[in-house]
Structure 1
Amino acid sequence: MTVPLPPLPPLPGDDVEHVPPGRSLVDVLDDQLGTVTTLVDELRADDTPDDRRKQLADVVVAELSRQVSAERQYLYPTVRALLPESDALAASGGAEDAALLRALKDLDGTSVTDPAFQGRVDQVADLVHQHAADTAALLAPLREAATDEQLIRLGNRVEMVKEAAPTRPHPGAPAGRPWNAVVDPALGVVDKARDLLTGRTTYAEDI
């Protein structure tokens, strides 16, 4: 069984297997989860100054919002196509994403000086660690089931989706195809305009 992706443009020597440039879906998602787990652990630490915590919270919310969009558009459909026996895990991952978006929305609306802030950070951190472990359980068999070409194509699409994805949580937005592929970029435009106006940091490499 193959993932239904558009064909590559014709190249000289069509009979030779072609692996496109880029990074594998597995590597892209694994790196993203590693980055956000590190950030959320720093955010959770008691000795992190408030100004740093505010910046960390903004980036964690943005990075995870993009991550959820990418997983919904490419990871879970791919898992269902290539690993039918993992359908329950994909469904569980989708439910985790929904819970994570709700927790991120609560965090995003809470000041670092609010007594409720730490509890909301703890909730997000717990969900992130659980989600990272569950996603790893999907990525390992996916690496074995898909070809290098498929995984790199999907990795390239995830990278592109992240650039257009929302940077804030929208729990009520469509979670499945085809509507998420239409609605998420529109929400992303609005979010990026708000980020620009408020000077909000949204990328891990910028802190």
Structure 2
Amino acid sequence: MTRIPVYFMPGMAASSSIFEKIKLPVDQFEVFLLEWIQPLPQESLKSYAMRMAKNVTHQNAILVGVSFGGVLVQEMAEHLTVRKIIIISSVKCAKELPKKMKIAKSTKAYKILPTSLLQDVEKLIKYAFGNRLKKKLQLYEKFLHMRNKEYLDWAIEQMICWERSTINSKVVHIHGDADEVFPIQYIKDCIVVEQGTHAMILTKYKWLNTHLPAILLA
């Protein structure tokens, strides 16, 4: 039996280590992990997606993307022949973006976000108040891959200003009903994960390991 190639794309700034607890049957699937690369100056998301698509070397592969990575794999699919696109904790089109992101787009408020703070997570951890916040920051520190301000400014702008209006028919959407970044009231036609937050690739890996193989094969 020929194994199905599955390419995983992490969320904004994250490394592929966020998928470390995702286990697919090795006799059915061959897993490939993608990483963010530095965008070129003034690069469009479409141009970036074209460059990233070159890392997918199989025909009829399945692309799996989390959050902004879900947006990216939809754009990558424009340059590939894919079997299916799975997005997790993400959006299928600009209509599904929450109101606060739409406001940020119209006001350009995203341009004043202090993204430089994320370059030194260790200092944030040192001065964080409360164990819960410290644990969140330590988790962030573990999985953060792209820290430079240029990437973060670019990624936030591309996410907020994404203009896709037509949903790709090959997209299968998995979404948590407690997602705090992309609230489920704005999301249509998705597989709902109960109590799934925006970080459910980490917190609901047991659900994903149980259900993902069938979703990939459907």
Please, what TM-score do these two structures have when normalized by structure 2?
A: 0.24
Report the structure, 1 or 2, having the larger strand content: 2
- Higher Rg of the two aligned structures: 1
Kindly indicate whether structure 1 or structure 2 has the higher relative contact order, using CA contacts under 8 Å at least 6 residues apart: 1
Report the structure, 1 or 2, having the larger helix content: 1
